[in-house]
Amino acid sequence: MNTVLAAEAGSTTARNLTITLFLVFVAITLAITVWASRQTKTATDFYAGGRSFSGFQNGMAIGGDYMSAASFLGIAGIIALYGYDGFLYSIGFLVAWLVALLLVAELLRNSGRYTLADVLAFRMRQRPVRTAAAVSTITVSIFYLLAQMVGAGALVALLLGIKPGTTFLGMDADTAKVATIIMVGALMIIYVTVGGMKGTTYVQIVKAFLLMGGALAMTLLVLAKYKFNLSSLLGDAASASGKGAAFLEPGLRYGVETPGDALKTFYSKMDLLSLGIALVLGTAGLPHILIRFYTVPTARAARKSVLWAIGIIGTFYLLTLALGFGAAAIVGGSEITAQDKAGNTAAPQLAEKLGEQFLGGDLGGATLLAIIAAVAFATILAVVAGLTLASSSSLAHDFYANVVKNGQASERQEVTVARISALVIGAVSIVLSIYAQNLNVAFLVALAFAVAASGNLPAILYSLFWKRFNTSGAVWAIYGGLLAAVVLVFFSPVVSGAPTAMFPDHDWQWFPLSNPGIISIPFGFLCGWLGTILSKESDEEKYAELEVRSLTGAGAH
């Protein structure tokens, strides 16, 4: 009886502590947002933070934007459940940065102004290209937003101690998750509509510090528990996972060998390849990352910010390996899946166990869980704000100002439309997230990467490097790649026909792969090439001007 009462007291303390920490963080970030709103006077302030951030500040903010809930919760979860195969996410997300640095970062910053479409439309007809870019930006952002909101729902259920069959404030686990998703959506809309890019950037910088600190502290505790002996950590992880030696070898999730079924084995290997391609090429097409390069004053600062980002992000992804194997060893696979089928709560559950062992008893566990959960919340709020800002900026600047108003909209009108757009995009994301709760958040982000690499990347690379590229090629590349990716995802096991699908009770699946990248990315490049050669339009003078601008920064705003 006393043990039960002590456990209940511990869980109540955990809830109170977590809620207090969360409210403190929300209060601090809202204060930053209100302060930033007073500094946001022009469209440049709203979209690009007045181009006033240093390379280090922007590098921290890029890290904050990129190290999402998918990284912290999703990757740790996938490694905890599938071992070696989860490595692909850690390595893929990191390698992707080299592609962004070498091919896109500086050239984009020199050529554009506020959005991705500024570069694409520079030497082409404005209306069709800007419309296509706005559609693509919103689609990618919504896919990415799904991942963050699903992570938020899983996290809050853990924090409030809500498991299937239990209640909190009269809400069961599912209702509590939905309520959380709505709350996170409301907060992100406030950040963007009130603070613009300045508020969002400072929230991301604060969050990057918190996340790195939290991940580093947990990694050191995991290693200290095993006296810095990686061999015994991996051995314990393999035995506690329930998978044995197979846990430390490839083939548990991807590239699975199915005896007697060569086709199924082939599809599993193709899925692995498809995911790898999407992860590596996706970053260079992500609109919320690309617009970060416009917030610095010079091309040199853009390069510097990417170098800082690579250092921060690279360190973080190394830490996720320790967190994933630590969760498998200390928490155990069955306990992780009992709380969340997709493994999204592995890192916070690990924090709770480490707190109990190092800080003493339930209160120690509750304290560390509350701190790490507040950090994860910070992560989710910062990333969703960045995504919403990217998509609402594109809708206002590209579609409203340059397509609907034909370049005649005032700055005040543009910013007002951006704020309304943030509200609409936030509402759509909230509704879709409610249906995606069974999916692992790292996996959902990989889908967003595939859509970005299929629709945006071909158009960006052709625009920067191919003299002959024209309006028709850009429109074909964006719509072709985007449509291929979205249609293949819709007819894949992700949406229907599998127990973990968005709609597990329905089955319209015919595309066998979970990630469409291997088909949709080459298809996007093919569409761009075909659209270009079938059209006679060409403006070599304008290309020469774009080339000079992209390489030197001359004439950049």
pLDDT for res 56: 83
pLDDT for res 43: 60
- The residue that leads in pLDDT, 29 or 321, is 321
Which tens digits make up the pLDDT trace of 441-466? 767 777 888 888 998 899 988 988 88
With H, G, I as helix, E, B as strand and everything else as coil, classify residue 471.
helix
Which tens digits make up the pLDDT trace of 387-405? 777 788 778 877 887 788 8
Q: What are phi and psi of 282, to 5 degrees?
A: -65, -40
Which tens digits make up the pLDDT trace of 297-348? 777 777 788 788 888 888 998 898 899 999 999 988 888 888 877 788 888 8
Sequential DSSP letters for 507-530: -------S--HHHHHHHHHHHHHH
Which tens digits make up the pLDDT trace of 487-540? 998 888 888 877 777 777 888 888 888 889 899 999 999 999 999 999 887 777
> Once rounded to an integer, what is the mean pLDDT over residues 402-409?
77
- How far is Cα 128 from Cα 537, in angstroms, rounded to an integer? 14
The one-letter amino acid code at 521 reads I
Cα end-to-end span (Å), the chain = 70
- How far is Cα 144 from Cα 188, in angstroms, rounded to an integer? 14
Q: Return the percentage of the chain with pLDDT > 70, whole number.
A: 87
The residues pairing with 168 across neighbouring beta strands, listed in sequence order, are 171
- How far is Cα 523 from Cα 212, in angstroms, rounded to an integer? 38
Nearest partner of 136 among 522, 542, 514, 483, judged by Cα: 483
Residues 347, 376: contact at Cβ < 8 Å? yes
Number of other residues whose CB lies within 10 A of the CB of residue 519:
18
With H, G, I as helix, E, B as strand and everything else as coil, classify residue 496.
strand
Q: Evaluate if residue 4 carries a pLDDT over 50.
A: no
Q: Is the dihedral of CA 78, 282, 420, 54 positive or negative?
A: positive
Which tens digits make up the pLDDT trace of 78-126? 899 888 888 888 888 888 877 877 777 777 777 766 667 777 777 888 8
Q: What does R_g of the chain's alpha carbons equal in angstroms?
A: 23
- How far is Cα 493 from Cα 447, in angstroms, rounded to an integer? 12
> Once rounded to an integer, what is the mean pLDDT over residues 243-271?
83
Q: How far is CA 179 from CA 169, 171, 172, 284, in A?
A: 12, 9, 11, 34
Confidence of residue 17 (pLDDT cuts 50, 70, 90): confident
pLDDT for res 524: 94
> Once rounded to an integer, what is the mean pLDDT over residues 232-246?
85
Structure tokens at 68: 């999402």
DSSP state at residue 172? E
Number of other residues whose CB lies within 10 A of the CB of residue 515:
28
pLDDT for res 143: 80
Residues 80, 327: contact at Cβ < 8 Å? yes
Confidence of residue 243 (pLDDT cuts 50, 70, 90): confident
Number of other residues whose CB lies within 10 A of the CB of residue 367:
21
> Once rounded to an integer, what is the mean pLDDT over residues 235-243?
85
Confidence of residue 2 (pLDDT cuts 50, 70, 90): very low
Sequential DSSP letters for 56-85: HHHHHHHHHHHS-HIIIIIIHHHHHHHGGG
Helices marked H in 125-225: 126-159, 173-190, 196-225
pLDDT for res 3: 45
Q: What's the angle, vertex CA 13, arms to CA 12 and CA 18, rounded to 5?
A: 100
With H, G, I as helix, E, B as strand and everything else as coil, classify residue 168.
strand
- The residue that leads in pLDDT, 230 or 387, is 230
Across 4-13, 190-199, 217-226, 412-421, least confident range = 4-13
pLDDT for res 501: 74
The one-letter amino acid code at 237 reads A
CA 144 from centre of chain = 5
Residues 302, 109: contact at Cβ < 8 Å? yes
> Once rounded to an integer, what is the mean pLDDT over residues 24-48?
69
Which residues, 6+ apart, have CB-to-CB distance to 345 below 8 Å?
A: 73, 77, 154, 155, 157, 158, 336, 339
Residues 196, 45: contact at Cβ < 8 Å? yes
pLDDT for res 518: 92
Which tens digits make up the pLDDT trace of 158-196? 666 666 666 666 777 677 778 877 877 787 777 767 766
Work out the angle between the directed axes of helices 262-282 and 441-465 (0-180°, nearest 10).
60
Q: How crowded is the C-beta side of 387, counted as CA atoms within 13 Å? A: 32
Structure tokens at 409: 């909209």
The residues pairing with 167 across neighbouring beta strands, listed in sequence order, are 172
Work out the angle between the directed axes of helices 517-533 and 441-465 (0-180°, nearest 10).
20
Q: Evaluate if residue 226 carries a pLDDT over 80.
A: yes
